[in-house]
Amino acid sequence: MNTSFSVFDTLIDRSKMSSDKWSKYPESIIPMWVADMDFDSPACIKEALTQRIDEGVFGYTHTPKALVKAIQSHLVRRYDWAIGAGNVVHLPGLVCALHLSVRAFSNEGDRIVVPGPVYYHLTKAPLLAERKVEHVDMVIQGGRWTPDMAQFETACAKSNSKMILLCNPHNPGGSVYTKAELLAIHTLAEKYDLLVVSDEIHCDLILDDLPHVPFASLSKDAANRTITLMAPSKTFNIAGLGYAFAVIENEALRQTFNQSRMGLVPSPNMLGLTAALAAYEDGQEWHQELLTYLAKNRDFLVDRLAGTPLKMLHLEATYLAWIDASALPIESPNQFFLDAGVGVSDGKDFGNPNYVRLNFGCPKSTLDDAIIRIEKALKNIN
Ligand X SMILES: Cc1ncc(COP(=O)(O)O)c(C=O)c1O
The distance of closest approach from Cβ of residue 301 to ligand X in the complex, given in angstroms and rounded to an integer, is: 18
189 binds ligand X per the rule CB under 6 A: no
217 binds ligand X per the rule CB under 6 A: no
Q: Which of 155, 156, 216, 244 binds ligand X (CB under 6 A)?
A: 244
For residues 84-104, one letter each, b for 16 or more C-beta atoms within 10 angstroms of the residue's C-beta and e for the rest, the string is eeebbbbbbbbbbbbbbbbbb
List the interface residues with ligand X, window 285-314 (CB under 6 A).
Answer: none
Span interacting with ligand X, options 92-100, 209-217, 283-291, 367-375, rule CB under 6 A:
92-100
206 binds ligand X per the rule CB under 6 A: no
The distance of closest approach from Cβ of residue 34 to ligand X in the complex, given in angstroms and rounded to an integer, is: 7
35 binds ligand X per the rule CB under 6 A: yes
Minimum CB distance to ligand X smaller for 269 or for 284: 269
Nearest to 293 by CA among 236, 360, 346, 228: 360
Minimum CB distance to ligand X smaller for 94 or for 213: 94
342 binds ligand X per the rule CB under 6 A: no
Minimum CB distance to ligand X smaller for 195 or for 340: 195
Sorted by sequence, the CB contacts under 8 Å of residue 109 that are 6+ apart come out as: 130, 131, 132, 160
The distance of closest approach from Cβ of residue 242 to ligand X in the complex, given in angstroms and rounded to an integer, is: 7
195 binds ligand X per the rule CB under 6 A: no
With the C-alpha atoms ordered 164, 167, 170, 172, is the resulting torsion angle positive or negative?
Answer: negative
The distance of closest approach from Cβ of residue 243 to ligand X in the complex, given in angstroms and rounded to an integer, is: 8
| Interface with ligand X: number of residues (CB under 6 A) | 13
Phi/psi region, residue 109 (left: phi>0; alpha: psi -120 to 50; beta: rest), is left
Which runs of consecutive H residues, i.e. helices, occur in the chain?
A: 20-23, 43-55, 65-79, 95-105, 121-128, 149-157, 179-191, 220-224, 251-261, 270-282, 284-305, 333-340, 364-381
The distance of closest approach from Cβ of residue 42 to ligand X in the complex, given in angstroms and rounded to an integer, is: 19
CA dist 125 → 112, 129, 260, 298 (Å): 10, 6, 15, 30
Q: Which of 146, 171, 175, 352 binds ligand X (CB under 6 A)?
A: 171
351 binds ligand X per the rule CB under 6 A: no
The distance of closest approach from Cβ of residue 334 to ligand X in the complex, given in angstroms and rounded to an integer, is: 17
Label the pairing between strands 320-324 and 355-359.
Answer: antiparallel
95 binds ligand X per the rule CB under 6 A: yes
In the DSSP assignment, the letter for residue 34 is S
Minimum CB distance to ligand X smaller for 152 or for 350: 350
Span interacting with ligand X, options 18-26, 90-98, 176-184, 358-366, rule CB under 6 A:
90-98
- Exposed / middle / buried, residue 249 (Cβ in 10 Å: 0-12, 13-18, 19+): buried
Phi/psi region, residue 341 (left: phi>0; alpha: psi -120 to 50; beta: rest), is left
Phi/psi region, residue 237 (left: phi>0; alpha: psi -120 to 50; beta: rest), is left
197 binds ligand X per the rule CB under 6 A: no
The distance of closest approach from Cβ of residue 143 to ligand X in the complex, given in angstroms and rounded to an integer, is: 22
The distance of closest approach from Cβ of residue 231 to ligand X in the complex, given in angstroms and rounded to an integer, is: 5
List the interface residues with ligand X, window 222-241 (CB under 6 A).
Answer: 231, 233, 239
Q: Which of 93, 173, 268, 343 binds ligand X (CB under 6 A)?
A: 93
Label the pairing between strands 320-324 and 226-230.
Answer: unpaired
Q: Are 342 and 374 in contact (CB under 8 A)?
A: yes
The binding site for ligand X (CB under 6 A) comprises 35, 93-95, 119, 167, 171, 199, 201, 231, 233, 239, 244
